[in-house]
Amino acid sequence: MTDQQRHVAFDWGGVFTIGTFDGRSTQNMADKSGVDVEKVRESYFRHVRQLEVGAWSLPQFWETVQGETGMTFPYTEFEPLYLGSIWDNEAMYATLEQLPPRVRVGLLSNNYPVVSDHLRRDSRFARFDALVFSNEIGHKKPAPESFAALQDAMGLPAAQVAFVDDVQENIDAAKAFGFHGILYHHDQHAPFQAQLREWLAL
């Protein structure tokens, strides 16, 4: 490997999905239960960090949120509803597939038990050389420990890797660690592709 070789790592939510997974999942929970969505979100977002750092299992999280909000449907119905809230950004998956084999590809995602397992089973994720999920390492972006874990998993110096995220705070943290940062929005996919191709010298 030479200093000229460059690679890329991605966030998942808001990058490989359209919009936010949390926003869609809480709306789906509210629609199914008839409970006001703001009540669902107040409880959900107060506790979701426990999932993100792997402190709680998904059933434990559901039991807590269910108890606070009054939603009555069982976990066996919650889990498929939760996973079904993923809305794929097909344009980004196409970009992923088009990356040449010489480009190493990583993922760093603030994610949750069960969801991360679901993603690992997705055949499209075979293109990733490194998958780093916050719930598995105990640290979430923008903590520097998360970017250290990504660097270690990719086996590359941060300076040779562009990190793609839809949140400016995470881009700033990635750049502070030494990564090249690219801010992403699905409505601006074509300009993003041009920016990525320039970074990768494609």
The domain segmentation of the chain, as residue ranges, is 7-19+87-200, 21-83
Q: How many helices (H) and strands (E) does the chain have?
A: 10, 5
CB 142 within 8 A of CB 170: yes
The fold for domain 21-83 equals: DNA polymerase; domain 1 (1.10.150)
pLDDT the model gives residue 2: 47
Of 63, 173, 187, 157, the C-alpha closest to 110 is: 173
Q: What is the CATH number of domain 7-19+87-200?
A: 3.40.50.1000
Q: Please state the pTM of the whole predicted model.
A: 0.93
Low-confidence ranges of the chain (pLDDT < 70): 1-4
75-83 vs 21-33: helix crossing angle, rounded to 10: 140
CB 6 within 8 A of CB 159: no
pLDDT the model gives residue 3: 52
Mapping DSSP to helix (H, G, I), strand (E, B) and coil, where does residue 189 land? helix
